[in-house]
Chain A
Amino acid sequence: MTDPDDAVARRLDANAAAGPLAELFTVDLTVAMATCAGCGNTAPLAAHPLYAHAPALVIRCPKCAAVVLRYASGGGRLRLDLRGARLLTVTLDGAAAHGLSPVQ
Chain B
Amino acid sequence: MAGTAIRRRLSWQRADVLAVQREARRAYRLSLRPPDWSGHLPGQHVDVRLTAEGGYTAQRSYSIASAPQQPGIELIVERLEDGEVSPYLTEVLRAGDLLELRGPFGGYFVWPAGDGPVQLIAGGSGVVPFLSMLGHHRATGGLRQVRLLYSARTFDDLIGQAELARQPSTVEVTVTLTRGAPAGWTGLTGRVDARLLAEHTIPPAQEPEVLACGPTGFVEAVANALLELGHDPIRIKTERFGATGGP
The answer to whether A and B interact is yes
Do the beta carbons of A103 and B41 come within 8 Å of each other? yes
Task: List residues of chain B with CB within 8 A of the CB of A26.
Answer: 2-3, 6
Min Cβ gap B46→A in Å is 8
Do the beta carbons of B215 and A9 come within 8 Å of each other? yes
Task: Tell me if A88 counts as interface (CB < 8 A to partner B).
Answer: no
Q: A46-B106, A46-B109, A47-B237 are known contacts. Are A100 and B217 too (CB-CB below 8 A)?
A: no
Chain B, 47-77, contact with A by CB distance < 8 Å: what is the 0/1 string? 1000000000000010000001100000000
Min Cβ gap A75→B in Å is 13
* Contact for B246 among A10, A18, A97, A104, CB less than 8 A: A10
Q: How far is the CA of A4 from the CA of B46 in the complex (A)?
A: 29
Instruction: Using CB atoms, name the residue of chain A closest to B136.
Output: A103
Between B69, B113, B243, B246, the greatest number of chain A beta carbons within 10 A of the residue's beta carbon is seen for: B243
A47-69 with Cβ < 8 A to chain B: 47, 52-53
Interface residue tally of chain B, by bracket?
35 or more
B29-51 with Cβ < 8 A to chain A: 38-42, 44-47
Task: Tell me if A15 counts as interface (CB < 8 A to partner B).
Answer: yes
Q: A9-B215, A11-B216, A22-B10 are known contacts. Are A102 and B38 too (CB-CB below 8 A)?
A: yes
Q: A26-B6, A98-B41 are known contacts. Are A10 and B243 too (CB-CB below 8 A)?
A: yes
Task: Tell me if B147 counts as interface (CB < 8 A to partner A).
Answer: no
Chain B, 222-246, contact with A by CB distance < 8 Å: what is the 0/1 string? 0000000000000001111111001
Do the beta carbons of B107 and A28 come within 8 Å of each other? yes
A11-29 with Cβ < 8 A to chain B: 11-13, 15-16, 18-20, 22-23, 26, 28
Task: Tell me if B123 counts as interface (CB < 8 A to partner A).
Answer: no
Q: How far is the CA of A103 from the CA of B217 in the complex (A)?
A: 31
* Contact for A13 among B104, B107, B238, CB less than 8 A: B238
Q: Which 5 A-B pairs have the closest CB atoms?
A: A98-B107, A46-B108, A18-B105, A102-B39, A19-B47
Could you give 14 example pairs across A and B, Cβ below 8 Å? A6-B243, A9-B216, A10-B216, A12-B240, A12-B242, A13-B109, A13-B238, A15-B108, A18-B45, A19-B61, A22-B6, A30-B107, A96-B2, A99-B6
